[in-house]
A and B are shown apart, each in its own frame.
Chain A
Amino acid sequence: MYTPKLLIHSNVIIERERSLPIKGKFHVALGDSINGDALILSTELRGDLTIVRPNDRFSIPPDEALKTCLVGVGERVHIGSVLCQTKGLFGYFQESIESPVDGCVEFISEESSHIGLRSDPESLEVKAHIPGEVISLQNERLVVLRSEVGVLQGVFGRGLEYSGVLHFLPLSRSEVVEQSHLESIKENLSGAIIAGGMTFSKEAFDYAVDSNVKAIVTGSFRSNFVSESLGGLDAPSDSDMPVVLITEGFGELALSENAYAFLSWANGRMASISGRTQVRAGAIRPELIIHEADHSEVQIKEEMTMEPSIGSMVRVVRGDDFGMVGTVSEIPDELHTLESGVKARTLKVRLKNGSESYVALANLEAL
């Protein structure tokens, strides 16, 4: 089998789940057609429990600490409310404990004197993120949407979700995006999704952040850039930083022809982007979704897979020929020994530069 392909197509039927972490309320019904900014689910998250330990704080046994307690179970407290107070000496040297949170007294332990304070609940809302039709409502917490959209999946992303208008930079696939490229469209930067180029220079990236660009789509990032500007591969998403998505990988890897054509078509269109990336246990790829599909293109379903065939177009996704596109000229039956010494199933590929070589099937993406 080919290596799992990243989907890049301007007319795809997809299904996406939108969910709450706990049960909540639906704001849509089966069959509804909705926009990307429609509210579809909401709930209240139970507040955190904070434990206050008067026995420790006052350094007295629990039974004495209980006597200092001025609040009861169920009572509402605010930050700064006095929960416990010692008698002191003739009214002097009193010590008190104040509530660190707004909330409610949930329990007072007779054994330990510990007081449990439950913070006020938080509201949580989930929007659709993409337009579509509601096709399933499940377990009071999950909505499934079916959409006909354009999809570009990336290799790596950072950041959560954002929706806005996409602006494509008219650079070549292998050009580095510099600050001057962004300055030339500065009136379009605030709130935008900016796409294009092989990579962004540090100056261009910093300028984009300062200009309130909300998302960046490009071919690749150098690893030093990821460490210095994004906080590392595993850094948590930061709402002050743009959502980022790279289509090819790490290094200096030009945008693929497919990605370039897609982003060019998507210029000026409404898009939603998610930077969420997970490599294990059910891979999640970062993706850019264009709200309106290109109906002049053949429509495909997301799950379509391809088997190798003579004449089919492929792209190399490993090694010195990374990114090279070619055509399958032969499908050998026997295993082939690669330069590495590994025996693998291969395809003979005629690359666009005219050369021909046996490439491991696992190192090819079907186009």
Chain B
Amino acid sequence: MIRQTGLTLSYKAAGSDIVIDASKDDRMVDLLLDFNARVDKILAGPFRGNIDFVHKTKDAFEVFVNKRANKSAEMLAKYTDLKMRSGSKTLSDSELEEMLDRVLALFRYTSGRWT
């Protein structure tokens, strides 16, 4: 099901592509956040919150987020740092908090499987 696209990969690229493609590093966290948000919307809507789909999604995230050892964790940390410094000037407290929550949700996948 992997399709080669040629020169430019779409911003809508999923999973592994976001993490593996080094040219995307500066946008990695934004792409991951966007992808995570879209996935959540699909799980809640068309997939009716079906728990099996939620589990499969978590499994898939754990696999692809860890594809370049520690890279995503590093990018997430940098992103958080950046936002904390500049964000407090441009974002409201609740916006900042919401953004941190979303980043944290991604961060959790990078710890690997403990269960």
Q: Do A and B come from one complex?
A: no
